[in-house]
Amino acid sequence: MSSSDKLALTLLLLALPLALVAALVSGPVSIDLGAALTQGWRSESSDAVILWQLRLPRALLAILVGAALGMGGAAMQGMLRNPLAEPALLGVSSGAALAAILLLYYGSALQASWGSAWQSGWLLPALAIAGAFSAVGCVWLLAGRGAGAGQLVLAGVAINAFLSALMALALNYAPSLFAMQEIVFWLLGSLANRGWDQLLLALPFVLLGAILLFSARNYLRALSLGEDSAASLGYRGRRYPLSILLGIAAAVGAAVAVAGTIGFIGLVVPHLMRPLVGQDPGRLLWTSALAGALLLLLADILVVNFVGAQELRIGAVTAFIGAPFFFWLIVSARRGQQL
Amino acid sequence: MKKIFLLTLLLVTQQATAQNRIASLNLCLDQILLNWLPPQKIASVTWLSADDHYRKAPLPKHVYLNRGRAEELLRLDPDLILVGQFGAQRAAARLRNLGFNVVAIPDAYSLEQLLDQLSALEKTLGHNAPLEKQKRRLEKLLVQPVPRARASALILSANNITYGSGMLEHQLLERAGFANLAAKQGVEQLGRVSLEEVVAAQPDLLVLYGGEKDFAIAHLAARHPVLKNYIDSGRVYTLPAELGFCPALVAADVLQQLTEKRKSLVEQR
């Protein structure tokens, strides 16, 4: 790692708290940040409530979700050794999204038996996480014993297509216009009106996912030499790929569950970070988590400051950032650079 | 002259009483028929009225659920077809051409329009006790002077939508003696209000829009813990969902309840 790369990483590390401060001062209402900070968590003044109950959990959730998506993307690209891989490729996002859509669609049927859980609002995220795990489970079973990257991608594409078809089916039969709008908003992702409860719901799953992924970092390093070389280095068997898949399902599933499907972070961030860590897939995990957190937080600051009749959906903002990056990727590939 | 007048009156009442099979092509008019008319007089309502979300009154078994198509009503041969200002206009024109008695009832987006709507209904349906009672009640409430001791209110509806000046909801708040903070901030018609703005504005009464009992992302704002203070201290009023699609049914109730709410808020001070 050259000194300029280290400098870039240090700058990234410093940028995160700065962006956090920027997120805390930006919003439709101007507040006295210093006073609100000193008044403390329990104060009932409106400035303190806005800071501690609205802006801080939202900014921290952006960091958590961004980190989960960035890390998930890095792990997925490392495991599949495919530059176009992203967490959604193996159906994690669509599994979570489908579970949520079904809940929104068949909601009233469940409401009777799960009344209290329903009212508290945690049933949707909990089912979404379960959906993510089931999607990964299906991919794993479909790919079969000793599956390589190729089989996993194929199984992932198949499951993803099937889940997308089911989502389209649910959309077709959406009972009311309101449900249709819900689903579309859900699929574009948003951090609006989220609070500490959503943050605390996602946190344990994202942490569990991070631990699983970081514990498999040496496998990812070995895998960059090829599957046979990794096997000759002792990384054989299903333990390692399974722990990566479960890690992605936990982290990304939880992120999708509380914020909806936010695209492109998992795809773009590892590409941006790879040159900075000397192509090391192990170190790429934490740098991608850092950059993903920063990127989503910046996107959310943009969303908060965007004036319009409706709040801009954060999935649309990240896609706006992500699509031009793709153009740049294609142009550099044409110039003969490595992806 | 007097004779002609009496004759016309007789004809009009005869026409009104002769309507034994009434059909509706409009959701609000459906609700008015179902709530205020004897079931045997209703021939058809729109399919939307089968949804419990829109309907409080029972749906009689013989009532046909139409999808706003002329051929459906043609078969039923109703004496009177009620249609709104918008929607199903093609079907209404076709039925009118075929000689059916199609009457357009104006929609109501303000208190003035609401009274016009009730008058139009009275004229079309003839003598109808619940309708007349509702109209009288509303007129009585509207002639009362606007109370002086004012409190502030802010509406927080699904998807963080708020109602500003020019909306029926705003008029009801003002009539009940509330200052609508959204209108004060220059919101005309509909506007967006974030939770931050709700917290900063500190309205005396937080007004939510009801109806949707299911969990929905659109209602996340209303469930956010920062509004717990409002809910715990009873400074919340929930507008009935009917106010959104058929204010004629509930406007008088809402105005009365809001007036009482303001009184109790002012007394608490």
Task: Yes or no: say if A247 and A212 are a contact pair by the CB < 8 Å rule.
Answer: yes
Does any domain span residue B9? no
Q: What ranges make up the beta strands (E) of B178-263? A: 178-180, 190-192, 205-209, 236-239
Mean pLDDT, chain A, as a whole number? 83
Q: Which residue has the higher pLDDT, A326 or A38?
A: A38
Of the partner residues B197, B213, B220, the one whose CB lies closest to the CB of residue A193: B220
Of the partner residues B213, B215, B225, the one whose CB lies closest to the CB of residue A195: B225
C-alpha distance from A176 to closest chain B C-alpha (Å): 10
Residue A170 phi, psi dihedral angles, 5° rounding = -65, -40
Query: Residue B110 in 3-state DSSP?
Result: coil
* Confidence category of residue A178, pLDDT binned at 50, 70, 90: low
Does any domain span residue B10? no
Of the partner residues A124, A193, A309, the one whose CB lies closest to the CB of residue B221: A193
Tell me what the mean pLDDT of segment A163-170 comes to. Answer: 85
* Confidence category of residue B213, pLDDT binned at 50, 70, 90: low
Does any domain span residue B38? yes
Identify the pLDDT of residue A18. Answer: 95
Of the partner residues A28, A185, A310, the one whose CB lies closest to the CB of residue B217: A185
Task: Yes or no: say if B169 and B243 are a contact pair by the CB < 8 Å rule.
Answer: yes
Identify the pLDDT of residue B119. Answer: 92
End-to-end CA distance of chain A: 18
* Confidence category of residue A251, pLDDT binned at 50, 70, 90: very high
C-alpha distance from B171 to closest chain A C-alpha (Å): 22
Task: Yes or no: say if B175 and B140 are a contact pair by the CB < 8 Å rule.
Answer: no
Indicate the pairing of strand B22-24 with strand B42-46: parallel
pLDDT per residue as tens digits for the range B52-101:
778 888 888 888 999 988 888 888 889 999 999 888 888 899 999 999 99
Residue B153 phi, psi dihedral angles, 5° rounding = -145, 155
Identify the pLDDT of residue A307. Answer: 67
Check CB contact under 8 Å for A53 and B223: no
Q: Which residue has the higher pLDDT, B18 or B207?
A: B207
Q: Are B85 and B113 found together in one domain?
A: yes
Q: Where are the domains of chain A?
A: 3-334
Tell me what the mean pLDDT of segment A40-55 comes to. Answer: 84
Listed residues B76, B95, B127: the one ending a domain: B127
Q: Which helix (H) or strand (E) holds A296?
A: helix A281-305
pLDDT per residue as tens digits for the range B186-198:
888 888 888 888 8
Query: Residue B105 in 3-state DSSP?
Result: coil
Domain count, chain B: 2
Listed residues B127, B154, B181: the one ending a domain: B127
C-alpha distance from A207 to closest chain B C-alpha (Å): 25
Summarize chain B as % helix, strand, coil (round to 5): 55, 15, 30
Tell me what the mean pLDDT of segment A90-94 comes to. Answer: 87
Of the partner residues B158, B194, B217, the one whose CB lies closest to the CB of residue A28: B194
Identify the pLDDT of residue A119. Answer: 54
Identify the pLDDT of residue B14. Answer: 45
Does any domain span residue B192? yes
Distance of alpha carbon A185 from its chain centroid, rounded?
Answer: 16
Indicate the pairing of strand B151-156 with strand B102-104: unpaired
Does any domain span residue B43? yes
Q: How many CB pairs under 8 A join A and B?
A: 85
B13: pLDDT strictly greater than 50? no
- How many angstroms separate the CA atoms of B1 and A328, rounded? 87
Identify the pLDDT of residue A333. Answer: 73
* Confidence category of residue A337, pLDDT binned at 50, 70, 90: low
> To which residue do tokens 């689903």 refer?
A183
* Residues of A engaging B, defined by a Cβ cutoff of 8 Å: 27-29, 31, 44, 46-47, 49-50, 53-55, 104, 107-108, 111, 118-119, 121, 123-124, 176, 178, 181-182, 185-186, 190, 192-197, 260, 308-311
Q: Are B180 and B255 found together in one domain?
A: yes
Listed residues B127, B152, B185: the one ending a domain: B127
Q: Which helix (H) or strand (E) holds A271?
A: helix A265-273
Q: Are B170 and B240 found together in one domain?
A: yes
Which of chain A's residues have a Cβ under 8 Å away from the Cβ of B223? 121
Which of chain A's residues have a Cβ under 8 Å away from the Cβ of B221? 192-193
Task: Yes or no: say if A287 and A245 are a contact pair by the CB < 8 Å rule.
Answer: no
Token pair in block for residue B262: 């303001």
A338: pLDDT strictly greater than 70? no
Check CB contact under 8 Å for B214 and A108: yes
Identify the pLDDT of residue A116. Answer: 56
Tell me what the mean pLDDT of segment B169-179 comes to. Answer: 90
Q: Are B162 and B75 found together in one domain?
A: no
The crossing angle, in degrees rounded to 10, of helices A281-305 and A56-80 is: 140
Q: Are B85 and B167 found together in one domain?
A: no
Largest Cα separation within chain A, whole Å, is 63
* Confidence category of residue A292, pLDDT binned at 50, 70, 90: very high
Does any domain span residue B1? no
Does any domain span residue B11? no
Task: Yes or no: say if A321 and A268 are a contact pair by the CB < 8 Å rule.
Answer: yes
Check CB contact under 8 Å for A123 and B215: yes
Q: Are B149 and B55 found together in one domain?
A: no
- How many angstroms separate the CA atoms of A185 and A190, rounded? 8
Identify the pLDDT of residue B105. Answer: 92
Q: A30, A53, A120: best mutation site toward chain B, by most B Cβ within 10 Å?
A: A53
Q: Are B102 and B162 found together in one domain?
A: no
pLDDT per residue as tens digits for the range A296-310:
999 999 888 876 666
A88: pLDDT strictly greater than 60? yes
Give the full edge-to-edge strand order of the sheet including B151-156: B178-180, B151-156, B205-209, B236-239
Query: What is the CB neighbour count within 10 angstroms for residue B14?
Result: 10
Tell me what the mean pLDDT of segment A283-292 comes to. Answer: 93
Q: What would be the CATH architecture of the domain defined by A3-334?
A: Orthogonal Bundle (1.10)
Does any domain span residue B209? yes
Check CB contact under 8 Å for B196 and A50: yes
Q: Which residue has the higher pLDDT, B21 or A108?
A: B21
C-alpha distance from B192 to closest chain A C-alpha (Å): 6
CATH of the domain at B26: 3.40.50.1980
Q: A24, A25, A193, A194: best mutation site toward chain B, by most B Cβ within 10 Å?
A: A193
Which of chain B's residues have a Cβ under 8 Å away from the Cβ of A260? 217
Q: Are B111 and B221 found together in one domain?
A: no
B3: pLDDT strictly greater than 70? no
Q: Are B115 and B180 found together in one domain?
A: no
- How many angstroms separate the CA atoms of B256 and B254, rounded? 5
* Confidence category of residue A108, pLDDT binned at 50, 70, 90: low
Most confident of A77-91, B167-181, B227-241: B167-181
pLDDT per residue as tens digits for the range A211-220:
999 998 888 8
Identify the pLDDT of residue A306. Answer: 79
B16: pLDDT strictly greater than 60? no
- How many angstroms separate the CA atoms of A146 and B15, rounded? 82
Domain interval for residue B183: 143-268
Using CA coordinates, name the residue in chain B closest to A55: B196
Tell me what the mean pLDDT of segment A27-36 comes to. Answer: 83
Q: Are B192 and B224 found together in one domain?
A: yes
Task: Yes or no: say if B199 and A50 are a contact pair by the CB < 8 Å rule.
Answer: yes
Can you tell me the ipTM of this complex? 0.70
Query: Residue A126 in 3-state DSSP?
Result: helix
* Sequence-ordered alpha helix ranges (H) in B153-246: 168-175, 181-184, 195-201, 220-223, 228-232, 242-245
> To which residue do tokens 């003002």 refer?
B174
